[in-house]
Structures are given as structure tokens and as C-alpha cells.
Structure 1
Amino acid sequence: MNPPLTGVKVLDFSTLLPGPLCSLLLAEAGAEVIKIERPGRGDEMRAYEPKVDDDSANFVLLNRGKQSVVIDLKAPGTLDHLMPLIHEADVLIEQFRPGVMDRLGLGYAALSTINPRLVYCSITGFGQYGPRASEAAHDLNYVAASGALSLTAGNDGAPVLPPALIADIAGGAYPAMMNILLALRQRDQTGQGVHLDVAMADNLFTFQYWGLGNGELGSWPSPASELVTGGSPRYQIYRTADGAFIAAAPIEDKFWANFTRLIGLDAAVLDRLSATEAKSAVATAMAQRSAKYWMDRFAGEDVCASLVVSLEQATEDPHFAARGLFDQTVTAPSGTTLRALPVPVDRAFRCSARTASPALGADNSLLKS
């Protein structure tokens, strides 16, 4: 069977992470993705470290299965050179600040008259309109602006850096792909394209559903005091005697009863204590033994406890190996092969034949001369 997006052509004007990850997901599902890159440097991600010869490992992982066209968007006649691709495109992805594509003659209003079926996806931090629409910012800024960063604060009140680029991926790339697929489905029904306004900061509020619900009832969440932000002994990271850490999330009573029994405490007694006292009691118990002792003791029991491991250790976990998470490979233009980036596209839909990332400008023959 052909992958579900076979025959869909995507023009990707984006750089770095949100747009390229979105177009990677589309490519993995069979779409033909053509990266539009600037002369000389191309996508800024190519220059990142560490390098795989000319390109960064980041770029190679994010741009598997795509084509590369180099063109100066500010040069006279650019639109003419791009015209064949614009006529054929089903999807266009861009992540410039609002108004930039319009000034280049490549905005939705202009291109939709050329190709009314075009699904045009703009990914920005704060959206296409509003007081902050043109504000310079990165992932950390969007997480801060949405209120999410404040909830990472510990007992000292200082927020900590998130361990992942949450806004770029969860607020940008994933919603962009979802809305592109919805737009393509709508186009099947109406024959018309649409301009999608994907705002990364907006999409972070979804992840704070519980906090918004609490706030609507008059109890806005505060850091280190709520169930999933450090306020409960049932959702904590505990240090063991050998300096390792165990993430414990026995929220439900049945898991909590099992967990406390196995660490030598009484759930009923702990539940009568204050949250601070209960956390301290559990922390003291966990600190008496090594991580291996606890994980051996928890084995086969329903306790919702996991050892905190490094990324390297996680990639070697037999479970993820059994799932085939790192079975695919990607080849850099130099011929060097890396394990491909795992993406949330089901195996039933993947286009596994495309295994290379593109050299800069390798596909300029696609342009009108």
C-alpha cells in the first residue's frame, strides 16, 4: 500500500525545528517535501554542532527524505522561478514573522489567487495578529509567556529550564501537522485551501488544562504545591542511597498502597500527614536503599515507579529495542549513516524508502530557469 500522503507536494520555507519537524512528519507519511533554502548557508540548522561532514546531525535527522532548492527570496523574479512549484503545491509551510512572506510576494493572499487549493501553514510564536505578534522570542519565551514555566519552580521559587523544546514541538510542529491534515481533508470536500495560523504560545495552554480548570473555580495553581508540580508525595522524584533517582507516580490509591507497603510505610498514616511531612517520610525511606534495591523490589508490582536514566541509557532499553524505535536509518549527503529520529507516525503509514537528507541545492532543477 502507498503511504497515505503519496502525491501530496509540500513547499517548506521554514528553518530550524518547528516547520522542519512538521514537514518531516508529512514526508514520513509519503508527502514529497521540497525545502526552499537561502543561498550560501541554507537552513541555519545545517551549521549547528556536532557535524556530519558539511551538515549538522540535527539537520540530517530532521530532514530525512526531503529535497532541497536554493533561491534568494529577495531577488527580482523569484516568484517566476518558483511558479511551477507553487502551481503544483498542496501545502506550504513558513515560519517567518507575520508580514514577511507578504512583503516577499509570497503571502497567502497572493499565492491563493495562483493556487486556490493551497493549504498555507504559518507557524509563529504568538500568531499572525495581536500585540505580541512581531515579538522576537524562542521556545523558552513562549513557555514563560504561557504560564507553564512558572510551574516548574521548586521550593526555592526559581523556575528550571524545561528538558525539551516544548513550544517548538508540542506547540508548533505537532499542531501544524494536525491542522494541515484537517485542511487537506476539508479541501477534499470544498476544493478550497486555507491559511492556517499556528501560534506556539497559544498551543501551550492546552497542556495546562488542569490549572485552567482550577483557576476557573478560583484556585489558580502555584509551583511546588499541586499534584503534578511537586505538591504531593504521590508524584515525586526521590533520591536513593547511591545518589540515583526514582520517579514515583503512584497517584491512585491502589498504586499508592502498593508503593508505600514496599518501602515499609503505611499509606493510611501518610495520608493523615501534611503533604510536606508525607513527602519527607517517603524521601527518608527511599534514601535508605540503592536504586537497584528499590527497582528489584518494585519489579512485577503495580507501583508506577521508574528509574531516572540518561538519554543514552534510554536508547539501549530492551523495551524500546523490541518496539523497533531506532531501527530506521538516515544517510547524510556524505554517505554517513545515523539512526533516524523516531517520529509519531505509525509504521502502517510510513514511507520507509526515503533514507537520505538533501545536500544544499541538490534539487534546483525543480525551479523554472
Structure 2
Amino acid sequence: MSSALTSLRILDLTRLLPGPYCTMLLADYGAEVIKIEDTGLGDYVRANSPKIGENSALFHSVNRNKKSVCLNLKTDKGKEIFLKMAENADVVVESFRPGVMDRLGVGYDVLKKINPTLVYCALTGYGQTGPYANKPGHDLNYISYAGLLEFIGERNRKPIVPPIPIADIGGGALLATVGILMALFQRERSGKGQFVDISMMDGALSWLQLTLPDYFVTNIQPNRGELRLSGRSAFYEVYETKDGRYLSVGAVEAKFWEQFCKVIGREEFIHQQHVPMDEQDRIKAEIQAIISTKAQKEWVEIFSKVDACVTPVNKFEDLETDPQLIEREMIQTFHDSEIGPVKLIAPPIKMSETPGSIRKLAPKSGKHTAEILAQMGYSNQEIEALTCEGVISGALKKSPIQ
């Protein structure tokens, strides 16, 4: 079965999480992603713990299905090699601060002259323009500036730091993937590439569809913990069970709330779904007292017989036995000839004709340097010389093609 992005060649200069997650998605669906690392530390995530073989579990997860070339872009010969690679590339993805690639002499203005069809995606915290463009930052900073963090947490308490990187993945990696694919689609019609400018702060702000448009109309800032779907209401809340586990109740529609109230034996709550907040607190307290009388599995079994949008709050240990995740094959075991079995999160986009797949683990540092250079016409002697000069690394002198 073919892959959706077969024949697409991507040069990936990103590291850490947002960029590698973006190119992981593209690699999972068939793109040839060449991860270009420097000849020193390379991608820092390699050193994280725990490890699978030589590299971290995280590195294997977001860099699977890729090739690795180690190249020193600060040297003239390194720049020459990269420019030659870019001649036949479809996409370049980088996550440096604005101007870094230009100072190295391999920025978009240079690349588009040698390859007018190239799609160039720059994934940064604040984008290529504006007073914040060159500021350092991380996910927490981006969602803070975007106004998103202000709403995460409980009423009358400080904002809570989210345990997953919202801006990095949702505002950055996913939008970069979409931007790249849109630019490639446009290229099919125009024959021209373009520059895709992705700001993780912009992306995080775009997630505020349930709140910011209302503010534009009313000029009223909602308070933390008082948004309709932030735990303010009894029908959209998490309750603790007898065994110290939790249930999520997402009974937003009246029909689901009605079923929930009937199951817990409190039908008088049916017509109190949207009462004021002080009444919501009273109802939540009463519901909590009821939910505390049974274990999580008991409640899950009871609610499995009705449509009430009640689900268990799963721990990681529950995921591999969850029947939905099993059916969707969302956790897969890849058998590597050297490392052995490795569990990975599967490609999430299901396609009937061109599905994604995990074909290999993340590459060792510079594993494909010699292979790629040989494909470009470099001789064994030239590859050995470049290795000795520190322009490249990872090449095998005796047998450069792996």
C-alpha cells in the first residue's frame, strides 16, 4: 500500500519538540525526512532519559522514520553541501530565531533562487515579525502572551501550568504541518514555492475561539474557573470515586444531563442544569457525595448502559487495555533488529488508501550522512576528507553507504 507523501523530500533542521513533531507526521505518511544536525551535540533531546538504546524515548518517538545527516553549516563546505541538498528538496523546516539562517548564508532568499519551487517553513515562538520576534521563550511564555494561560485553573486561584505543551504542538507543530501541506497544494497549481511563517504564540491565540470572540462583542473579561466549560458547571466536571480514581462528566446537552441525573437518582437536578454559580457549587457537592459511594469501574459499568457522556479518567497504565485504543491501534510495538521491541504512539490520522506507518526507529546521529552525500555524487575519498575536516560527521570511512 502506498503512502500519501511518498517522493516528498524534506530537510529538517529543527530540534526539541515542535519541529520534530511536525516532520514526524510528514515522515509517518511517507515523506523522506532528512534530519540535519550539527556535528557537535546535535538535537539535545537525544540525551534525555529514559533511553532506548543510545537515544531517548522521546527522541525515538518524534524522530522515527527519518534519516540523519550531521553537517557543520558554519563552514563554507558545509554550506555548499546544504545548498546542493536544497536544490532537490521540496521542503525546508527550521526553528531558529529569525535571521539565523540568513546569517549562515542559507536563508529563504538564497534558497528560493536555487530552487523556486521550495516550500520553506520557519517555526518560531513569535514569528518573523513584531517586537517579540527575537525574544527567547517556551510554551508557557507563548500561552501567557496569547491570553490562554489566564483561563487555566480554578476560580480565585492562580493559573495552573498545563502538563502538555499547548503552543508547541497545537499552536506550532500542527499548524506548521497544515501550512506546509497548503503551500505544497498551491505549488501544484502555481509551480512556485513560498515562505510559511508559523508563530506558536499566534497559534495558541487561535485556540481561543470559545472565549475571545465573545469578548470582542461584550468587552467583558471572563474570570478563571467561571467559563462554561472550565469546571464551573456540575454537568462539565470531574468527580472523585470511592477508590480515589476519577470520572469525567461532559453532559453538555440537556439529553445527556437528563440521563446522568436519572442514573445517580437525582432527577430534581435535570431542570437545574444552568443555575447560577453558587447553586452549581451546591449541586456539584451533592453529586460528589454520590459518586464517592462507588469505585470507578462500578460507575463506568453503570454508565455504559446509557448515553450520558461519562468516562473514566485514565492513567497511562489503562491505555494499553482501553478497547477503543486497541481497536484504533494507537499504541504499536515496533520490533527493531538491534534494540528489540519498542512501544510507540501510532500515527493518528487514519487513511483508507495511504495510511501512515512506523517503518523504522529514529536514526543514530549522522547515520545517513555518507549515504546522502554519495547519492549527491560525492566520492568515498571526498566523504572521508569532509569528515576529517569536521564538515560532516557520522560517515563510515571504510564503507560510507549504510
TM category (shorter chain) comes to over 0.9
Give the secondary structure class of the aligned counterpart of 2:208: helix
**1:29–1:345 contact (8 Å) kept in structure 2:** no
1:22 maps to amino acid:
C
Does structure 2 conserve the Cα–Cα contact (< 8 Å) formed by 1:5 and 1:30?
A: yes
**TM-score (normalised: structure 1):** 0.94
* Aligned counterparts, 1:201-212, within 5 A: 201-212=201-212
2:225 is paired with a residue whose SS is coil
Alignment of 1:238-317 (within 5 A): 238-265=239-266, 266-268=268-270, 270-271=272-273, 272=275, 274-317=279-322
Residue number in structure 1 paired with 2:198: 198
2:68–2:365 CA contact under 8 A, matched in 1: yes
5+ unaligned residues in a row in structure 2: which ranges?
383-402
Q: Is the CA contact (8 Å cut-off) linking 2:11 and 2:34 kept in structure 1?
A: yes
Following superposition, the deviation at residue 319 of structure 1 comes to 2.0
Identity of aligned residues (%): 36
Deviations 1:147-192, CA, capped at 9 Å, x for gaps: 1112112134122221211111111111111111110111111111
Partner Cα distance (2:292, 2:63) in 1: 45
Q: 1-side partners of 2:366 and 2:336: how far apart?
A: 17
Structure 1 residues 259 and 353: alpha-carbon distance in aligned structure 2, compared to 1, 3 A threshold: closer
Give CA deviations for 1:323-355 in whole Å, capped at 9, x if unaligned: 2222352648x4333123223232442354722
Distance 1:353 1:23 in 2: 13
3-state SS of paired residue (1:210): coil
- 2:61 matched to which residue of 1? 61
CA distance in 2, matches of 1:169, 1:203: 9
Q: Which amino acid aligns with 1:299?
A: S
SS at match of 2:23: helix
The corresponding residue for 2:345 is: 341
Contact 1:60 1:330 in 2 (8 A): no
Q: How does 1:135-154 map to 2 (within 5 A)?
A: 135-154=135-154
Give secondary structure in 1 for the equivalent of 2:34: strand
Q: Is the 8 A contact 1:21 1:62 kept in 2?
A: yes
Structure 1 residues 360 and 25: alpha-carbon distance in aligned structure 2, compared to 1, 3 A threshold: same
- SS of residue paired to 1:77: helix
Structure-2 separation of matches of 1:331 and 1:26: 21
- Distance in 2 between residues matched to 1:268 and 1:27, nearest whole Å: 49
Distance 1:358 1:244, change over 3 A: same
Rounded to whole Å, the distance in 2 between the matches of 1:197 and 1:315 is: 38
Q: Counterpart of 2:300 in 1: which secondary structure?
A: helix
**AA aligned opposite 1:270:** Q
Secondary structure (helix, strand or coil) at the match of 1:129 reads coil
Partner of 1:329: 334
Long gaps (5+) in structure 1:
none
TM-score under structure 2 length normalisation: 0.87
| Residues in 2 aligned to 1:216 and 1:307: alpha-carbon distance in whole angstroms | 36
Change (3 A) 1:279 1:214: farther
Deviates more, 1:135-144 or 1:76-85: 76-85
Residues 37 and 69 in structure 1, CA contact (< 8 A), matched pair in contact too: yes
- Shift of the 327–353 alpha-carbon distance from structure 1 to 2, 3 Å rule, reads closer
The answer to which of 77-86 and 17-26 deviates more is 77-86
CA contact (8 A) 1:29 1:350 kept: yes
Q: Partners in 2 of 1:330 and 1:340 — Cα distance?
A: 11
Look up the SS of the partner of 1:217 in the other structure: helix
2:247 is paired with a residue of what secondary structure? strand
Give secondary structure in 1 for the equivalent of 2:158: coil
For structure 1, which segment, 162-171 or 267-276, has the greater mean C-alpha deviation from structure 2 after superposition?
267-276
Distance 2:46 2:22 in 1: 17
Q: How does 1:98-247 map to 2 (within 5 A)?
A: 98-218=98-218, 219-247=220-248
In structure 2, the partner of 1:3 is: 3
Return 348-357 or 102-111, whichever deviates more: 348-357
- Give the whole-Å Cα distance in 2 for the aligned partners of 1:294 and 1:353: 37
Note closer, same or farther for the CA distance 1:52–1:39 as it changes in structure 2 (3 Å cut).
Answer: same
Number of aligned residues: 368
User: In the alignment, is the contact (CA less than 8 A) between 1:108 and 1:195 conserved in 2?
Assistant: yes
Q: C-alpha displacement at 1:311, in angstroms?
A: 1.6
AA aligned to 1:284 is A
Question: Could you list the runs of 4 or more consecutive aligned residues of structure 1 that deviate by over 4 angstroms after TM superposition?
Answer: none
- Residue type of the partner of 1:275? Q
Structure 1 CA distance for aligned equivalents of residues 139 and 324 of structure 2: 31
